[in-house]
Each structure stands twice: as C-alpha cells, then as structure tokens.
Amino acid sequence: MSDATLVVPPLDTGFQPAAAFNAAYRATIAASGRASTLLLAVERSNGGVTRFEAPIRDDAAPETLRYAERLAKFLLWAWGGHTLHVAAPAAVCDHLRSTYADGGARAFDASMMTAIYGQPFTVRAAAKKKIPAQKDVTDAVGGSLKGCRIGFDLGASDYKVAAVKDGEVLYSDEF
C-alpha cells in the first residue's frame, strides 16, 4: 500500500480511513492481473439474506485478508446475522473462519451475533453457486400503544419532546 493513502492524525498515527485503504486496494487488483471474487452473504433467523460481491486479489497477502475481514465486519454490523457465508479463495475463507472463532480478533463480534440471534455464529465457506440468494424480509415492529413511551426529535433549529401513556399524550412540547 502506498504511504500516500495514509492520513496521520496526531492521536492515532496508525489510523487509515477505510475509504483510502479500499481505494488503494482496488487499484492493486487491476495492477496485479490476478483478480478473484469475494462473495459474502449474511443470513438472519427471519430468513433474510444480504449478499455482497467484490473483486479481490487471488493471493493471501495481508491487504487481501484485511479487505475481506473489513467487508465482513461491515456487513455483520449493518445487517446482522447468525451465519456468514463466504465464497472466496481458500486462504480468505480460512482467515475469516479463524478471525471470528473463539480467541480470534473478531470473537467479540461473533459473540454479539450469537447473543442477538440466539444461536452460535458460524462462518461457512462454500462455492459461489451454494451461497444463499439475496432475500429481503421485513419485520413488523411496534404497533402497540400500551405502556409508557418517551419520544424526542433533535432537529437542526429546534427539538420536540413527547410523553405518552397507553396512547394518551401526557406531555408534548417544542423548543
């Protein structure tokens, strides 16, 4: 990676913005002439599946492994899920499996997904054709007016506050 992609803030000299790293990495794909495909799919317990596909180098260089790991982490926290399906070169699959295992660098993330979805978080390597298809699922939330609710809206020039009990507005104001 080029030093030109680094932004050196005084409090974290090792910091590199994801956008800069990703742009530099994608530039190396074209230069290497050794492109492969990374397909990630995050599966949720409601049947939903989110897929993401990106070109990667077909090597096991630290940059390739970092790129795949960062994309996987982003998808997990953006969409959530109990299973991460991976179609990629074997070294990338192995890296993601060990990274999200107990004692791995992302064990916390795996633990959180396990707690949220009530089943062990797993990373499954598979051929591209065996990765689950994209499936958008919506869940109805809320709808009940029973109990107490507090709401607020922090606008640019004002803010609003409301308190409701069993559907009856007890307090409402705008400042």
Q: Each residue of 97-150: pLDDT tens digit?
A: 999 999 999 999 999 999 999 999 999 999 999 999 999 998 777 778 889 989
In total, the chain counts a number of residues equal to: 175
- Give me the helices (H) in 80-141, please: 90-99, 107-117
Neighbouring residues of 122: CB distance < 8 A, sequence distance ≥ 6: 82, 83, 84
Bigger pLDDT: 72 or 13?
72
Residue 155 has pLDDT above 90, yes or no: no
For 22-37, the pLDDT digits (tens) are 999 999 998 988 899 9
Amino acid at 120: P
The confidence band for 7, taking pLDDT boundaries of 50, 70 and 90, is low
Instruction: Supply the pLDDT for residue 34.
Output: 82
Instruction: Supply the pLDDT for residue 6.
Output: 54
pTM: 0.76
